[in-house]
């Protein structure tokens, strides 16, 4: 009898899920998977579900779950439902946790056992190794031998080791929205372990039960899960479940096309928050890792992404993580914010460095320093000297075509001129006038170089006029006088 056509989710409401395992820091790739699911759900008016896959009791940790929740909150990827009876807006409930759903998995494990679609396996690790060796010496592919498949009663004195699913020797075919038709030969798989015991299901089983019970219509996940899909489809069929639509999104590679790894790239999402990237810029960047809009626009806000997102334009070939592009996008997104908005965002970073100033100062500081920074962290690093003058060598005050004596003289003249302007007339125009006078008979570098160093302690900085404008009369004068005194 030909196999029945699988039940599909094609005509069901759109429901997608993000199913991270809390076993390590939240990976950028996981954040991208979450984003694609979220964009798809929001574009389609469907539901986005968060499910923490913590069946691996040894490796799952609460701190990683917290990080997932904090990461999604930072990116603004809100989820729609959850088991906790917290009424209210999105993202205030849930998430689902597999560790709280053991009874459900147990029921379906028992069903498979009762239907003889699954069985207890008594083989120990040593026996499995021996079976595998024997098979490979006969040139057979390494897979479970099927030794316990037809055991009807527990062998005397032996303990069940795991529960295995009877994998039929058949071709499994499915249509992936991104990769097209995918065919796997399940004969190569061997009977798969789906649980350690009735209370301890493994990933490939729990995921199938959850996707069915949560009425997931589309499974959008990383390409690294492609090989799991036929295993999951076979379990779905054995339980008479629906087969969701699959979309496996491409791998992310480093710029040199090597596999993305911590050695070359910051792979933890939260590192980008610490570095002061804007969440909307990161969202924009992640969205373009494997997807692009119809036209060649690249700078897109969240609402535009929601409007434009379409799984049909997700590419099958790997996406390349390009940090320069991230920086560019972040600068573009920073441009959409006012000085005040950036000031507000950068305040916690300043506080963390023990740098304090009033709001008006911070805002003005942002206005002169912002264009030089790729992110808020850089803004703080580049512009720290406004808050505290770094230590610098007095020799730095001397321009290459000048002498210490001349630098001292120039700084002395500057001190006298600055003193003459009162604070309320301490404007860029007035300061420009002073500089014009002082440079009329000298090369500009003779004056501007020591002034810049005196104000910033640095070789490169914003325009000295801008610095003085931010620092104000008193502090500018203090720095210039102090510099003159060191020579």
What gap in Å lies between CA 74 and CA 144, rounded to an integer? 44
262 catalytically annotated: yes
Q: By C-beta, is 21 or 456 nearer to ligand GLU? A: 21
- Contacts with ligand GLU by CB under 6 A lie at 19-21, 53, 207, 221, 225
The least distance separating ligand GLU from the CB of residue 20, rounded to whole angstroms, comes to: 5
What gap in Å lies between CA 142 and CA 28, rounded to an integer? 34
Q: By C-beta, is 248 or 331 nearer to ligand GLU? A: 248
Q: By C-beta, is 19 or 435 nearer to ligand GLU? A: 19
Q: By C-beta, is 207 or 447 nearer to ligand GLU? A: 207
Q: By C-beta, is 229 or 367 nearer to ligand GLU? A: 229
List CB contacts of 93: < 8 A, sequence separation 6 or more: 81, 82, 83, 84, 85, 86, 87
Contact 206, 53 (CB under 8 A): yes
Q: Which two tokens stand for residue 394?
A: 């007095």
The least distance separating ligand GLU from the CB of residue 220, rounded to whole angstroms, comes to: 8
The least distance separating ligand GLU from the CB of residue 121, rounded to whole angstroms, comes to: 24
Q: By C-beta, is 69 or 379 nearer to ligand GLU? A: 69
What gap in Å lies between CA 209 and CA 471, rounded to an integer? 63
Alpha-helix runs per DSSP H in 3-160: 28-44, 62-75, 102-114, 125-137
What gap in Å lies between CA 276 and CA 166, rounded to an integer? 51
What gap in Å lies between CA 42 and CA 38, rounded to an integer? 6
Q: Where are the beta strands (DSSP E) in 147-228?
A: 162-165, 171-176, 180-185, 192-197, 200-201, 218-222
Q: Which residues pair with 164 in a beta bridge?
A: 119, 193
Q: By C-beta, is 218 or 333 nearer to ligand GLU? A: 218
| Packed helices 279-287 and 28-44: angle between N→C axes, nearest 10 degrees | 80
The least distance separating ligand GLU from the CB of residue 103, rounded to whole angstroms, comes to: 20
The least distance separating ligand GLU from the CB of residue 61, rounded to whole angstroms, comes to: 14
Residue in the structure block whose two tokens are 């798989």 = 189
Q: By C-beta, is 319 or 418 nearer to ligand GLU? A: 319
The least distance separating ligand GLU from the CB of residue 218, rounded to whole angstroms, comes to: 11
The conformation of residue 390, written as its DSSP 8-state character, comes to P
What dihedral angle (degrees, nearest 10) is formed by the CA atoms of 34, 51, 273, 64? -140
What gap in Å lies between CA 411 and CA 83, rounded to an integer? 69
The conformation of residue 458, written as its DSSP 8-state character, comes to S
In order, the DSSP letters of 217-240 are -EEEEEGGGTTHHHHHHHHHHHHT
Cα–Cα–Cα angle for 327, 330, 331, rounded to 5 degrees = 90
The least distance separating ligand GLU from the CB of residue 18, rounded to whole angstroms, comes to: 7
Catalytic residue (choose from 10, 175, 259, 262): 262
Q: Which two tokens stand for residue 361?
A: 């100062």
Closest residue by Cα to residue 117 from 246, 262, 235: 235
The least distance separating ligand GLU from the CB of residue 70, rounded to whole angstroms, comes to: 17
Catalytic residues: 262
């Amino acid at each position: 009898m030909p196999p029945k056509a699988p039940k599909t989710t094609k005509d069901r409401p759109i429901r997608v899920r993000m199913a991270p395992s809390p076993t390590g820091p939240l990976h950028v790739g996981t954040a991208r998977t979450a984003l694609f699911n979220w964009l798809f759900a929001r574009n389609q008016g469907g539901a986005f579900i968060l499910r923490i896959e913590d069946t691996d009791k040894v490796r799952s940790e609460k701190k990683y779950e917290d990080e997932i929740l904090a990461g999604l909150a930072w990116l603004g990827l809100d989820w729609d439902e959850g088991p906790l009876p917290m009424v209210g807006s999105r993202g205030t409930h849930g998430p689902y946790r597999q560790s709280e759903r053991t009874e459900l998995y147990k029921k379906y494990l028992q069903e498979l056992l009762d239907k003889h679609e699954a069985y207890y396996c008594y083989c120990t690790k040593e026996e499995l190794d021996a079976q595998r060796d024997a098979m490979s010496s006969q040139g057979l592919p390494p897979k479970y031998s099927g030794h316990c498949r037809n055991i009807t009663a527990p062998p005397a004195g032996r303990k069940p080791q795991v529960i295995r699913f009877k994998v039929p020797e058949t071709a499994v075919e499915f249509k992936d929205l991104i990769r097209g038709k995918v065919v796997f030969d399940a004969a190569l798989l061997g009977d798969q372990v789906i649980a350690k015991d009735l209370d301890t299901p493994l990933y490939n089983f729990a995921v199938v039960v959850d996707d069915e019970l949560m009425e997931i219509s589309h499974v959008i996940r990383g390409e690294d899960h492609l090989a799991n899909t036929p295993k999951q489809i076979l379990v779905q069929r054995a339980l008479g479940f629906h087969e969701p639509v699959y979309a496996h999104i491409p791998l992310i590679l480093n710029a040199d096309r090597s596999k993305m790894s911590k050695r070359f790239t910051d792979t933890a999402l939260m590192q980008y928050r610490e570095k002061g990237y804007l969440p909307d810029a990161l969202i924009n960047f992640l969205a373009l890792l494997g997807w692009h809009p119809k036209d060649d626009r690249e700078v897109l806000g969240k609402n535009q992404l929601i409007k434009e997102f379409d799984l049909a334009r997700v590419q099958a070939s790997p996406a390349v993580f390009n940090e320069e592009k991230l920086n560019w996008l972040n600068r573009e997104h920073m441009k959409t914010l006012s000085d005040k908005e950036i000031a507000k965002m950068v305040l916690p970073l300043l506080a963390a460095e023990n740098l304090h100033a009033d709001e008006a100062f911070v805002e003005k500081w942002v206005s002169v320093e912002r264009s030089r920074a790729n992110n808020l962290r850089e803004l703080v690093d580049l512009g720290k000297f406004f808050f505290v003058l770094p230590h610098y060598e007095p020799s730095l005050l001397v321009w290459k075509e000048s002498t210490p004596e001349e630098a001292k003289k120039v700084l002395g003249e500057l001190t006298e001129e600055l003193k003459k302007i009162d604070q309320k007339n301490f404007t860029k125009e007035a300061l420009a006038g002073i500089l014009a006078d002082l440079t009329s008979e000298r090369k500009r570098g003779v004056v501007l170089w020591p002034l810049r160093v005196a104000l910033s302690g640095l070789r490169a900085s914003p325009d000295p006029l801008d610095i003085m404008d931010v620092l104000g009369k008193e502090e500018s004068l203090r720095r210039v006088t102090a510099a003159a005194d060191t020579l």
